[in-house]
Amino acid sequence: MRGFKDWFNTMTLGQTKKYLRLLLWCLFDSFVVSIPYAVMVLAVYVLLIPIASPVMILPMDRIWILVGILAVQFISYLFVRKKSYLDFCIGFAGTTKTSRIEMGEHLKKLSMGFFSSRDAGDLSTVLLRDYSEIENFAQQILPQVATILIRFTLAIIVLSAFNVKMMLAVFIVIPLALPFAIISMRRMEKEGALLQSSQQEAASGILEYVGGIRTLKAFHMAGEQFETLKDTLNKQREAAINIETKAAAPVSMLGRFVLNCGIGLVMLAGSYLMFKGELQVFYYIAFLLLTLTIYDPVLSLFTFIADLTRTTRSGKRIRALFEEKPLQEPEKSKKADGTDIEFKEVSFGYGDKEVLHHINITFQEKSVTALVGPSGSGKSTITRLIARFWDADSGEVSFGGVPVNEMTSEELLENISMVFQDVYLFRDTIENNIRMGKSDVTHEEVVEAAKKAACHDFIMSLPDGYDTMVGEGGSTLSGGEKQRISIARALLKDAPVILLDEATSSLDPENEVLIQQAISALVENKTVIVIAHRLQSVCNADQIVVLKDGEVFEKGDHVELLKMNGLYAKLWNEQNNAGNWRIR
């Protein structure tokens, strides 16, 4: 029983009580809709009375009673159908909307480690396809199952009133067809898993192909990569065909065969009972006609049962996402005292690979600290730990004397502006993308931030200026333009801590000078942590931390590090020599 409760809770997105109310209205609606079928059977019975006994006349009073029942049913139908239809279309649609919003709220609380381990196609399949499966199940399949069950119940009652033996002859083959539905469910579970996997792979392949089309064209691999995508789509097609031929076929073909045998059984049973004088001919005809209308819904019911495996899997995947543990948030956020940031014996890894080892660094308030070192040494990871995109595996990261895990994410991130190398812009206007830094500002303040970030001129050259729509991810803009907009966003936020990850890497020399001036204004009287590969851009930093293989290798200012004649001095000399490089 508990297993059924858990299943029902999953399939109704946690809104079991609300859905039960909707289902009760659906059952009532099914009962009202089924009344004409029962009335027509009774009408046939009444109309055949004179044939059964020629001395009797047609009982018109009973006909009028049946007509009156139909009239009451019609009026009731208008009210009940409107109520049940609106409840299911609007009520459960509201439930789905609420669940999707809750899912969005839940996802934003998860660590970046979760997203780095999950494929974008996988998540999009859950958020789109799986929710659609649940919505279709709740709005279409369950109500139809309820309707079939109600009509079964009424059919049993009405047919039993005529002849119990004939009623048993009609329904006895239904349990015999049930094993085929069970076989279908088991095969559907296997084939459905393959289909779902191929759908996720196809979704990921499409996203990758569209997102990387520029690179593919540049290396003349668009056709080759499309062949790979085509193979993935063919696998999806084969899985979809298999689910119909290997899973649905037992119900649609063998199940129908068994039910057709039931029609023959009804004919034989009726003939036998008529021969014994236990059944009148017009009742026999009525049973034959009703049998045809009963077996078709049974096949539909068995098909719904087979579909349960696919829909149940979708529900489990949605529930599994909700069960992902978010970053632990304190009930009450502690207030930071200043903007000093300190790493104490911090170690951190992605999965089984540790990338930071016992890091000890202090970022003084209103100072500039540069993180330098070879690629893969852990520079970006340090900035992500400061913003608490992940929690450290061991040690402590503190902000203003408070461990970051004792501050709410909202409180922490209010104090941080980030400009990263990989800029993401949303499919919205340029102004709204800049406003992400601070939503409650005037248009004039947005323009002022854009001017400081040296992007006002190129924005005004666009057809719609600040109202120009940006493609998904900023695909309609160049790398330098996207980066300048992200800097404008950070300028607008005006947070006391600035994290810069190669903020000028995509800019031409002319704009780089302007951006460096804007950054100088941005970081004034702020705590700044900057990641840079070009050491010339950070040689004036108050502190330079040199990382190597996830450890603090050297630490000091530019002059001190050059005197050490270590890794920093080596990198400095290499970059100076590289500056003299020319194409021969």
- If one counts every other C-beta atom within 10 angstroms of the C-beta of residue 576, the result is 11
pTM above 0.75, yes or no: no
Q: Which residue has the higher pLDDT, 582 or 214?
A: 214
If asked whether residues 100 and 187 sit together in one domain, one would say: yes
> Into how many domains does the chain fold?
2
- Statement to judge: residues 571 and 540 lie in one domain: yes
Edge-to-edge order in the sheet of strand 353-363: 353-363, 341-350, 394-399, 402-403
Q: Same domain for 352 and 302?
A: no
Contact 121, 211 (CB under 8 A): no
Residue 329 in domain: no
Residues 371 and 309 in one domain: no
Same domain, 83 and 193: yes
**74 domain-assigned:** yes
Please check whether residues 30 and 104 belong to one and the same domain: yes
Q: Is the dihedral of CA 25, 27, 30, 31 positive or negative?
A: negative
**Residue 4 domain-assigned?**
no
Chain segment 334-363, per-residue pLDDT in tens: 888 888 999 999 999 887 788 889 999 999
Q: Of the ranges 153-162, 375-384, 394-403, 491-500, which is most confident?
A: 394-403
CA distance 454 to 452: 5
Mean pLDDT for the stretch of residues 457-476: 82
The SS3 of residue 130 is: helix
Shared domain check, 38 and 69: yes
Assigned domain for 1 exists: no
CATH number of the domain that 223 lies in? 1.20.1560.10
Q: Tell how far CA 275 is from the center of its chain.
A: 64
| Domain assignment of residue 408, given as a range | 341-578
Position with higher pLDDT, 524 vs 428: 428
* CATH of residue 444: 3.40.50.300
* Residue 142 to residue 513: CA distance in whole angstroms: 65
Q: Note the Cα 281 to chain centre separation in Å.
A: 59
Domain match, 21 and 161 both: yes
Between 449 and 229, residue with greater pLDDT: 449
Please report the DSSP string for 497-561 in residue order.
EEEEESTTTT--HHHHHHHHHHHHHHTTTSEEEEE-S-GGGTTT-SEEEEEETTEEEEEE-HHHH
Q: Does a structural domain hold residue 584? A: no
Q: What is the separation, in whole angstroms, between the first and last Cα of the chain?
A: 79
Model confidence at 317: pLDDT above 80: yes
102 and 225 within one domain: yes
Average pLDDT of the chain to the nearest whole number = 78
Asked if residues 532 and 502 have their Cβ atoms less than 8 Å apart, the reply is: yes
In a shared domain, residues 259 and 404: no
> Is 362 within a domain?
yes
More confident residue, 102 or 200: 102
pLDDT for res 345: 92
Residue 370 and residue 506 in one domain: yes
Q: Is residue 6 part of a domain?
A: no
Mean pLDDT across 416-445: 84
Q: Provide the strand spans (E) within 388-523.
A: 394-399, 402-403, 416-419, 497-501
